[in-house]
Amino acid sequence: MACRIGELVLGCRDPELLARFWCEVLDFVVVDREGDDVVEIGTREGFGGPHPTILFSRRDEPEPGKSRLHIDLNPTDRDQDAELERLLALGARPADIGQTGEEPWHVLADPEGNEFCLLKARIPAL
């Protein structure tokens, strides 16, 4: 038997802000809270459902150094350009990590600066 990713944990300054942003991006809902310091989001099935949940955990100080993990997103119901517009309207912003401009993806950052990529290929929604 192999393992499954049950949840991804992201340290952040404002768990509520990031939970709202990523719920809109991924069509997730808040599935749990632990006081003001932890907000967990996921599909309506919650923990153990078809996708890992994402846990935003308050950290007063950011971790030193650049994060080595980022999320790649694929649009499900629109093309990449339309999805890019939607993400920017939600509060994402372009991020420069040294790309040439010829890449078929867009590098973005969430409201706290966590980088993620919007890929071109569409995949079906679950």
92 and 120 in a common domain: yes
CA distances to 24, 72, 81, 114 from 18, rounded to whole Å, are 10, 17, 23, 10
CA 100 to mean position of chain CA atoms: 23
Contact between residue 39 and residue 30 where contact means Cβ atoms under 8 Å apart: yes
For residue range 44-92, list pLDDT tens digits in order.
Answer: 998 888 889 999 999 987 667 777 788 999 999 999 999 999 999 999 9
Q: In what order do the strands lie in the sheet with 29-34?
A: 7-12, 53-58, 38-42, 29-34
At 21, which CATH number? 3.30.720.120
Range of the domain at 27: 1-60
pTM: 0.88
108 and 53 in a common domain: no
User: What sign does the dihedral 110-113-116-120 (CA atoms) show?
Assistant: positive
Provide the domain count of the chain.
2
For residue range 1-60, list pLDDT tens digits in order.
Answer: 588 889 999 999 999 999 999 999 999 999 999 999 999 999 999 888 888 999 999 998
Of 53, 116, 43, 112, give the one whose Cα is nearest residue 84: 116
Alpha-carbon Rg of the chain, whole angstroms? Answer: 15
Residue 110 clears pLDDT 70, i.e. is over it: yes
82 and 116 in a common domain: yes
At 97, which CATH number? 3.30.720
